Structure 1
Amino acid sequence: MMSSRFAGTALRQLGPVVFASGPAARAAAEPAYALLAGASAAPAPAQTGVLLLRFSSVRSAGTLTAPVGVGGEEEGAKAGAAAKTAEGAAEQKAVVSYWGVPPSKVTKDDGSAWRWASFRPWETYQADLSIDLKKHHAPTTILDKVAFWTVKSLRWPTDVFFQRRYGCRAMMLETVAAVPGMVGGMLLHLKSLRRFEHSGGWIKGLLEEAENERMHLMTFMEVVQPRWYERALVMTVQGVFFNAYFLGYLLSPKFAHRVVGYLEEEAIHSYTEFLKEIDKGTIENVPAPAIALDYWRLPPGSTLRDVVMVIRADEAHHRDVNHFASDIHYQGRELRTAPAPLGYH
């Protein structure tokens, strides 16, 4: 009876420390083990060490944090640093691999490492430079005329502000040109969710348009550095344009796509003037940025002129797609009834 009482006392003393580790924890546990040894046939000291080791193993597999005992600060610091390193590695792995699958190593055709995280080699393409750049959609309906003159009225303040600085002009316009595709794709996405129906590929097509326009901006950022007031202007114009286009798309997708079609026609004109300035020597024909070489699969030695050529071809394709989308709505059909053009770029 007395042995059982002593054993219970020993277990109560041992309880707070069995999940701890370090020299101080082992020293605190010795009286309890001695009490157990006097109460009954306790294990030998070597067995006691094994028992404590087993308790420590259970603790290390759990989520408790062991306190650092006196004299064990260095061990605790090392353990804490190792834990932080492991946690940081796990966090970084979660960032670079969203789906929990480690990303495979991506290389170019020549075997060199792929340096861009925003797009992959299979997302690159060669622009169709043979596309008709002079195609124009003549406004026929009242809605088309409103869209046409709305875009024409927006061109005047742009010409006054940028004058002949076509690099800054292109950079500024690309921050706005990437908005319609994202807004249209977002609204079609929500519409598809509400109606439980497919979109005919138009969601992906419009989002690809937005991403393509954003890549235009990322390219020009390597060539032209915007001034502080140009950055402020971008924030203002984008805020106004996003909300206006959002409301316009809700009211009339036909009108919204027609506006973008005419905006792309103006973009083609602006890039044509950009090329003229490069040919005259007013704008230096600097080497093409590395991101442009990889994104458009341009050959080594390409220049700014080559970049402007492929961007202008992109804008011509966006012009045709948006006019086509507007025509579908004009005919009383929704975008889902006509598949989006294949090979969007």
Structure 2
Amino acid sequence: MNSRVTTSLVLQILRHGRSSGLCFSTAFPSQVIVCRSGTIGRRSILGFGAWERSFGSASPELAKAEADEKEKSIAETVNRAVGSRPDTGAVVSSYWGIMPSKITREDGTVWPWNCFRPSDAYTADLSIDLSRHHVPKTFLDKVAYRTVKLLRIPTDVFFQRRYGCRAMMLETVAAVPGMVGGMLLHLKSLRRFEYSGGWIKALLEEAENERMHLMTMVEIVNPKWYERLLVLAVQGVFFNAYFVLYLLSPKLAHRVVGYLEEEAIHSYTEFLKDLDSGAIPNVPAPAIAIDYWRLPKDARLKDVVLVIRADEAHHRDVNHFASDLRYQGKELKEAPAPIGYH
């Protein structure tokens, strides 16, 4: 059986994998998942050579060089079929099973990030009003405001003026509300068979944006083991508490986030003061921040803090707006979500 026939055989298996009982793994480009009689196992692509020879290879004394060439041809065929890069062997996976085109920057260099695409990058609006404050009016507003002020006390005691570590902790918490809110609105939309007015996507975008803040801060700050442990504890408590709070009162939950973002703006403003005074070195901006916010190649840490602070101001306005809708007795789906970050 020559290499052309073998390649044809593999392609037929790929096209009719369901009927043949063979499933090719996108996670393991050099492996085939064999599914028969309810059992699943992995066999190496290299096993195809032995499998082929046992079913009618004409020359038992086939040269090793020819066998290696045949196995290489099969592996390349399968790799192309499952969507792997022939130059590196790395799998380029897609939810829809389609190999994406090669992504490059505007200058032609290869796009290095898998966590976001160039279409997700944007330029932050630095002209946003940073001093805007929602004056507590109702009883729930006052509860939200005082709760956030109370939560700030242990943070000030623990981190003091270590604003890099403080920002890292802040972002691990700030990325939770958008995900919780988006998830619960998603489930509500499924239960009621109704649209969300774009709020699901808006809240999930907020969570993703906050996560990118964290990814950037991790590049700048090397958290110690006890700080990582603190992140686990705080996130575990906050996620469950916010989940219950959103179920009980979405208005209160969004108001809490609005005031949390106001505190974030204050923290990043103090961060900038220490950068200007030299208490914190103004190191070069991480590469991920330059690509995500479309910053200049020579951007510094101060530029990163400025765009993050602008993002927090946007989150502040979005969550106060969402809370006001609830205060007026309107569902979020009745008012379109604010325009995203792009």
Decide: shared fold, TM above 0.5. yes
Counterpart Cα distance in 1 of 2:304 and 2:214: 12
Task: Give the corresponding residue for 2:330.
Answer: 333
Aligned to 1:294: 291
Instruction: Determine if contact 1:286/1:303 at 8 Å carries over to the other structure.
Output: yes
- Are 2:126 and 2:310, in contact at CA under 8 Å, matched by a contact in 1? yes
Per-residue CA deviation, residues 104-150 of structure 1 (Å, 9 max, x unaligned), is: 12222222222222222222111111111111111111111111111
Q: Is it true that 1:146 corresponds to 2:143 in the alignment?
A: yes
Q: Does 1:343 align with 2:335?
A: no
- Seen in structure 2, the aligned counterparts of structure 1 residues 245 and 58 have a Cα distance that, compared at 3 Å, is closer
- 1:13 is matched with none
Local SS of the residue matching 1:286: coil
- TM-score normalized by the length of structure 1: 0.78
| Aligned ranges 1:5-84 → 2 under 5 Å | 65-66=51-52, 68=54, 74=64, 83=74
Residues 136 and 145 in structure 2, CA contact (< 8 A), matched pair in contact too: yes
Describe the SS at the equivalent of 2:125. Answer: coil
Q: Of 194, 205, 209, which aligns to 1:208?
A: 205
- Which residue, 269, 274, 278 being the options, matches 1:272? 269
Q: Judging changes above 3 Å, is the alpha-carbon distance between structure 1 residues 101 and 262 closer, same or farther for their aligned structure 2 residues?
A: same
User: Are residues 66 and 217 of structure 1, via their aligned partners in 2, closer, same or farther at CA, if it must alter by over 3 Å?
Assistant: same
Indicate whether 1:115 and 2:112 are aligned: yes
Tell me the distance in 2 between the aligned counterparts of 1:91 and 1:59. 12
Q: Return the letter of the residue paired with 1:127.
A: A
Kindly tell me the number of residue pairs found equivalent between the two proteins.
Answer: 293
CA distance in 1, matches of 2:10, 2:162: 67
1:58–1:313 CA distance, 2 compared to 1 (3 A): closer
Hey, what does 2:303 align to over in structure 1? Answer: 306
The match for 1:228 among 225, 230, 242 is 225
SS at match of 2:220: coil
Confirm or deny that 1:198 pairs with 2:200.
no
Q: Is the 8 A contact 2:169 2:231 kept in 1?
A: yes
Is the counterpart of residue 252 in structure 1 residue 249 in structure 2?
Answer: yes
How much has 1:202 moved relative to structure 2?
0.5
Match of 1:173 in 2: 170
The amino acid across from 1:235 in the alignment is L
Instruction: Assess, with a 3 A threshold, how the Cα gap between structure 1 residues 102 and 245 changes in structure 2: closer, same or farther.
Output: same
Distance 1:113 1:78 in 2: 31
Aligned-pair identity (%): 68
Highest Rg: 1 or 2? 1
Q: Please tell me the root mean square deviation across aligned C-alpha atoms, in Å.
A: 2.6
In 2, distance between residues paired with 1:113 and 1:161? 41
Deviates more, 1:241-250 or 1:60-69: 60-69
Q: Of Structure 1 and Structure 2, which has the larger fraction of its residues in helix?
A: 1
CA 1:204–1:154: 2 relative to 1, 3 Å: same
- For residues 13-53 of structure 1, what are the alpha-carbon distances to aligned partners after superposition, in whole Å with 9 as ceiling and x for unaligned? xxxxxxxx79xxxxxxxxxxxxxxxxxxxxxxxxxxxxxxx
AA aligned opposite 2:104: T
Deviations 1:246-282 (A, max 9, x none): 1110111001000000000000000001001111100
Contact 1:261 1:319 in 2 (8 A): yes
Amino acid in structure 2 at the alignment position of 1:259: V
Note the C-alpha offset of 1:343.
Answer: 3.2
Is 1:124 the counterpart of 2:107? The answer is: no
CA 1:104/1:92 → structure 2, altered by over 3 Å: closer, same or farther? Answer: closer
Residue of structure 1 in register with 2:36 after alignment? none
Q: Quick check: which one's strand share is greater?
A: 2
Q: Return closer, same or farther for 1:132/1:78 CA change in 2, 3 Å cut-off.
A: same
Is 1:137 the counterpart of 2:134? The answer is yes
The alpha-carbon distance between structure 1 residues 87 and 233, as it changes in their structure 2 partners (threshold 3 A), is farther
68-77 or 236-245, which moves further after superposition?
A: 68-77
Question: Is this contact kept in 2: 1:126–1:296, CA < 8 A?
Answer: yes
